[in-house]
Amino acid sequence: MALDSRLTSELTPELKDIVQEIEAHARNCGLDFFPTIFEMVDYEQMSEIAAYGGFPTRYPHWRFGMEYENISKSYEYGLSLIYEMVINNNPCYAYLLRSNSLVDQKTVISHVYGHCDFFKNNYCFSFSNRKMLDEMANHGSRIRRYIEEIGHDEVENFIDVCLSLENLIDQHGAYIKREETVKLRTSTFDDDLSKLQNTVLPKLPSHRSYMEEFINPDIYLKEQKKKIQKEREREKSFPENPVRDVLKFLLDHAPLNSWQRDVLTIIRQEAYYYAPQGQTKIMNEGWAVYWHSKIMTEMMLKDHEVVDYCDHYAGIVQMSSQKLNPYKIGVELVRHIEKRWNRGQFGVEYFRCDDPSVRQQWDSKQNKGREKIFEVRKLHNDITFIDEFFDEDFCDEARLFTWAQDKRTGKTVIENRDFLSIKKQMLDALTNFGQPIVDVVDGNFKNRGELLLEHKHLGKDLKIDWASECLKNIYLIWSRPVSIRTVLEAETRLLSFDGVQTKIAKD
Amino acid sequence: MKMETDVNRFRKIVRGKIKENLKKFISSGELIGRQGKKIISIPLPRIDLPHFQFGSNPQRGLGQGEGNLGEPIDQGESQTGPNQGKASDKPGQHALEVEVSLEELGDILGDELGLPRIDNKGKKNISQKKYKYQGLLRNGPESLKNFKRTFKEALKRQIGMGDYSSSNPIVIPIKEDKRYRSFKVEDRPEASAVIIYMMDVSGSMGEEQKELVRLTAFWLNTWLKLNYDNLETVFIVHDAAAREVDENTFYHTKESGGTLISSAFKLCEKIINEKYPASEWNIYLFHFSDGDNWSGSDTSDSFHILDTVLLPSCNMFAYGQVESRYGSGQFLKDLNKHYGDDNEKIITHSIKNKEGIMDALKVFLGKGK
């Protein structure tokens, strides 16, 4: 599907030639990508496309308007600039900013081929909808139809409700076949009761009757009985096992009418479409920077462009004392891997070596670097990438540190440069995409059709005012009281909304 | 444009937010100094959709660079340099600054306070000449020829005379067919207004009182600007003597003398006579004081000027009494006693504190004068 021709225009002949040249270089390097279509846009169009998350045909919603105002203002004020946008789709679409200088365009084009290769080959994207441009346009027209039928305010308000829950998806759902969680309940309550009474309790074998009460004491039998009871309860409970994909659960079981169900379906689908990009931010950018720097410095750069190129490159991989720059960490880690595998710095022998100077000099001339980084780009996501390759040598070289607020002065200071705590913080921040893990644990809570969610607490508390707003939104969908079990200041708490008020209770 | 719809939906929400927070804006002075010629930038809390998200545990994070343990890191460093590459996909934590036209803000204020549109009566004779194209003539310059009508006339004529055939549809206008646009001189009433702010700056008026005046004046301006094409403001400060000053001086003058209210009224009279003849201007007089006048005789002098000159020429005279620890508040009582409820050009109100500004605006502007 072609994009709205009003929005974009074709490349200049000069750029067309450059695109061809770079594409050929990229293929020679071993990159493998979908056909890639470049379009020229001005900054207003770029802001618009960026505000729509890359899809100019998206459904109407006020937050895109807000995003647009933010992006276009910060461009006007000279605060930030979007160099490029690339859409994971087949064919891949990429947008070039008309006002960029030629050397920037070359850089961006090379960068885009890196992303395209990543989209096509990384495992996280393997379930991604490659016709998303069409799908998004389809979503747009469906929602526009509902707006016409139902009214703008009502539909938009419901979209707000759904969007506020959009992170309640199963980040790994696409890659794992989870057990079918919902079974039809066949037995009635009476059946269960009689079954329990008739059940023969499992006893430990005892051959002498006088030993019976020692081998199978009352206390043991009681425990067994409890265990069976618990098992029964679990079977009766609904869902039988916690459900991570909360949106799916709501779609399956909440009393929604057809347009609402469709809107929720759309929001969920889009959330799943964007999920892999969140899971591979560091890798994806690292990979693209690695290739644009390779293609530019070794193949494309003219002498007179070197200074401009370097200046902009330095900007892209700028270090920050306050947060990590995914471009920098990504590209340096890719290079680190390449170097290690080129020099054979892997395997048992290397790891058993304790002598830092020997390790540093280690070079068995394996030259497996290129092969390894292609393998890494196929099989890893940010978490496994950091977990596996972020080692102490890299941590030292990259001059990483953790910062915290000094209690006495209130200033933000460098806290430590300890490898393990840095790595732990990095992995913490990446877990579940930086989002809290929330499961549906009971769809018939208190046997009153209420909904119980559970926040798997991993050390960080929920933002409580937002959590209660979210409960209100789930209530609008579920239409019965909704609760979430969480931990606040190290105490288990039950936060509930019953349609009238929010309560925090001990659990 | 597609984005326009979404931007408009967003702006509608913003409008709602401004309405919600209007009371806070009116009493906090947050907006003062944020207005340009036509627009004003308003800080709003970022409009966000709530998500299940982590709260702000003790601030921690990761950074990169040189430095010893315990060394403070540079807070001033911008996180998104111009070369940052790609816009962050995470929303920033800063407040949202939205730009709203002063006109829109005035509208919101009017909506929220239920203010009637100002009826500038008695000033219909003030007008400006304006040319307006209207109707058609048979004569005129070629440059004003109306082609469509000309050809229509020609077609009519040719059909009437049997000269037209649909297989060979040629229409040739002759002189009689030609029609020209004609214009008319119109008197377009133009509404001009002047606001004369008078303020007592004697010793008993403190910073707090002046702040109240300033806030009130800001919103009065915003509303009146919406109602008049041409709005001018005059500032007069007075203690025992009065003088005309610019806006900045108006709010920052500190005098210590006594108070003769009549001095301000006299100056006001002079300014009206010289620059703003009542036949051409809608005149608004606002006087702010803590209510202390030097003597009873000066009060009756003041009333005399009001009665004979000021009231007949102005749309309204509003007296806002800002409460101070030292002021007796006598002038308000005197005014009310002298005029009672009879004179509808006189509006008095006492402003106790910032929360009272909203009520004051309602009282001052509520009559639609």
Neighbour count for residue B334 (Cβ, 10 Å) = 18
Q: What is the pTM of this model?
A: 0.74
Residue with the bigger pLDDT between A340 and B99: it is A340
Q: CB-based contact (8 Å) between B69 and chain A?
A: yes
State the smallest CA–CA distance between residue A426 and chain B in angstroms: 8
State yes or no: pLDDT of B341 exceeds 80. Answer: no
Instruction: Give helix B102-113 / helix B2-28 axis angle, nearest 10°.
Output: 60
Q: What is the residue-wise DSSP string for A453-468?
A: EEEE-SS--B-HHHHH
Q: What is the residue-wise DSSP string for A147-159?
A: HHHH-HHHHHHHH
Interface contact A470-B52, CB threshold 8 A: yes
Angstrom distance (rounded) from CA A483 to CA A495: 5
Q: What percent of chain B has pLDDT over 90?
A: 3
pLDDT for the residue numbered A249: 94
Residues B210 and B352 in one domain: yes
What parts of chain A have a pLDDT lower than 70?
1-9, 78-80, 178-201, 234-236
| B152 located within any domain | yes
CB nearest to A69's CB, from B10, B59, B62? B10
Interface contact B8-A316, CB threshold 8 A: no
Q: In B, which residues are within 8 Å of A435 by CB distance?
A: 51-53
Q: Could you tell me the two tokens for A75?
A: 């461009």
Q: Residues B292-315: what's their mean pLDDT?
A: 83
Residues B105 and B134 in one domain: no
The residue of chain B nearest to residue A107, with distances taken between CA atoms, is B85
Interface contact B64-A56, CB threshold 8 A: no
CB nearest to A413's CB, from B49, B71, B77? B71
State yes or no: pLDDT of B327 exceeds 80. Answer: no
State yes or no: pLDDT of B336 exceeds 70. Answer: yes
3-state helix, strand, coil in chain B (%, to 5): 40, 25, 40
Q: In A, which residues are within 8 Å of B5 by CB distance?
A: 60, 65
pLDDT for the residue numbered A422: 92
CB nearest to A320's CB, from B10, B72, B77? B77
Interface contact A402-B52, CB threshold 8 A: no
Residue A305: Cβ-neighbour burial (10 angstroms; 0-12, 13-18, 19+) = middle
State yes or no: pLDDT of B80 exceeds 70. Answer: no
Question: End of a domain among B86, B114, B142?
Answer: B114
Interface contact A65-B83, CB threshold 8 A: no
pLDDT for the residue numbered A218: 84
Interface contact A322-B79, CB threshold 8 A: yes
Q: Is B67 left (phi over 0), alpha (psi -120 to 50) or beta?
A: left
Q: How many CB pairs under 8 A join A and B?
A: 213
DSSP class of residue A243 equals B
pLDDT in tens, A277-322: 989 999 999 999 999 999 999 999 999 999 999 988 988 888 888 8
Residues B229 and B266 in one domain: yes
Q: CB-based contact (8 Å) between B61 and chain A?
A: yes
| B120 located within any domain | no
Residues B236 and B324 in one domain: yes
Q: How many domains are contained in chain B?
A: 3
State the smallest CA–CA distance between residue B76 and chain A in angstroms: 10
Q: In A, which residues are within 8 Å of B9 by CB distance?
A: 60-62, 65, 152, 156
Interface contact B53-A463, CB threshold 8 A: yes
| B177 located within any domain | yes
Q: In B, which residues are within 8 Å of A417 by CB distance?
A: 69
Angstrom distance (rounded) from CA B15 to CA B256: 44
Q: List, in sequence order, the alpha helices (H) in B243-288.
A: 247-252, 261-275
Residues B317 and B196 in one domain: yes
Residues B337 and B312 in one domain: yes
Residues B253 and B303 in one domain: yes
CB of A39 within 8 A of CB of A96?
yes
Interface contact B64-A324, CB threshold 8 A: yes
Q: In A, which residues are within 8 Å of B77 by CB distance?
A: 320-322
The residue of chain A nearest to residue B52, with distances taken between CA atoms, is A467
> Measured between alpha carbons, how far is residue A152 from residues A165, A205, A272, A476 in Å?
20, 71, 25, 18
CB nearest to A68's CB, from B7, B54, B57? B7
B 81-120: CB under 8 A from A: 81-87, 96, 98
CB of B102 within 8 A of CB of B35?
yes
Which 3 state secondary structure label does DSSP give B157?
A: helix
Residues B168 and B230 in one domain: no
Residues B223 and B354 in one domain: yes
State the smallest CA–CA distance between residue B29 and chain A in angstroms: 25
Residues B153 and B248 in one domain: no
The residue of chain A nearest to residue B99, with distances taken between CA atoms, is A69
Q: In B, which residues are within 8 Å of A71 by CB distance?
A: 87
Residues B178 and B251 in one domain: no
Q: First and final CA of chain A: distance in angstroms?
A: 54
State the smallest CA–CA distance between residue B17 and chain A in angstroms: 14
| B61 located within any domain | no
Angstrom distance (rounded) from CA A107 to CA A97: 12
Q: In B, which residues are within 8 Å of A48 by CB distance?
A: 3
Q: CB-based contact (8 Å) between B77 and chain A?
A: yes
pLDDT for the residue numbered A265: 96
| B82 located within any domain | no
Residues B183 and B196 in one domain: no
Interface contact A322-B8, CB threshold 8 A: no
pLDDT for the residue numbered A214: 82
Domain that holds residue B104: 1-47+95-114
Q: What is the CATH number of the domain that holds B225?
A: 3.40.50.410
The residue of chain A nearest to residue B64, with distances taken between CA atoms, is A400
Q: In A, which residues are within 8 Å of B82 by CB distance?
A: 78-81, 315
pLDDT for the residue numbered B95: 61
pLDDT for the residue numbered A187: 44
Interface contact A84-B86, CB threshold 8 A: yes
| B19 located within any domain | yes
CB of A477 within 8 A of CB of A460?
no
| B122 located within any domain | no
Residue with the bigger pLDDT between B220 and B56: it is B220
Q: CB-based contact (8 Å) between B45 and chain A?
A: no
State yes or no: pLDDT of B333 exceeds 80. Answer: yes
| Complex confidence, ipTM | 0.80
Angstrom distance (rounded) from CA B339 to CA A40: 72
Interface contact A328-B64, CB threshold 8 A: yes
Residue with the bigger pLDDT between B131 and A124: it is A124
Tell me how long chain B is.
369
| B80 located within any domain | no
CB nearest to A322's CB, from B5, B9, B61? B61
CB of B282 within 8 A of CB of B313?
no
Question: What is the residue-averaged pLDDT of chain B?
Answer: 79
State yes or no: pLDDT of B125 exceeds 80. Answer: no
> Which H, E and C letters describe B15-30, residue by residue?
HHHHHHHHHHHHHHCC
Interface contact B3-A48, CB threshold 8 A: yes
